Amino acid sequence: MRLSSNRLLLALPINGVAAAPINATERWDWPDPGPCQIDAEYRDQWVEYGMVRYRTVFRAAYGPDPSTFCKYWHKGDNLPSNIKCADGPDVDGGWWRVDASFSNADWGVTEYWSALIRLRMDWKQEYGCAIWR
């Protein structure tokens, strides 16, 4: 049986509606978080002395001390400058934070996101934790 081109065109939108897009910002629920959970995520950015400062907040539960994430920012191949790592009640009710400067150019943005993803994975692998989402 041969479909006419009009019937085929009417069938296409129906198939397109059935496949809903995946929301990239949707948080995952972990059914089995493992022995510990960690999280590190972008919080804010601003320009300071011609460089872009990025604030990353992080936390850990049932495992490593959150301060252990600070050491990863001081090693690697795309190092930021002026790294400050601390905790305090002024950040989301007491999260730890790291502020670091990157170039105020497109490649500086890429360096930041690359560093955040890689350093979070390094932290996860060293302590065997699940990423807390």
Residue 7 clears pLDDT 70, i.e. is over it: no
Among the listed residues 110, 113, 93, the one whose alpha carbon sits nearest the alpha carbon of residue 41: 113
The whole-model pTM stands at 0.69
Q: Distances from the Cα of 77 to the Cαs of 13, 91, 118, in angstroms? A: 47, 28, 11
Domains annotated for the chain, with CATH where assigned, are 37-131 (3.30.1360)
Residue 68 clears pLDDT 70, i.e. is over it: yes
Residue 6 clears pLDDT 50, i.e. is over it: no
Quote the Cα angle for 64-70-74, to 5°: 135
Residue 27 pLDDT level (bands cut at 50, 70, 90): very low
Helix (H), strand (E) at residue 78: none
3-class DSSP state of 83: strand
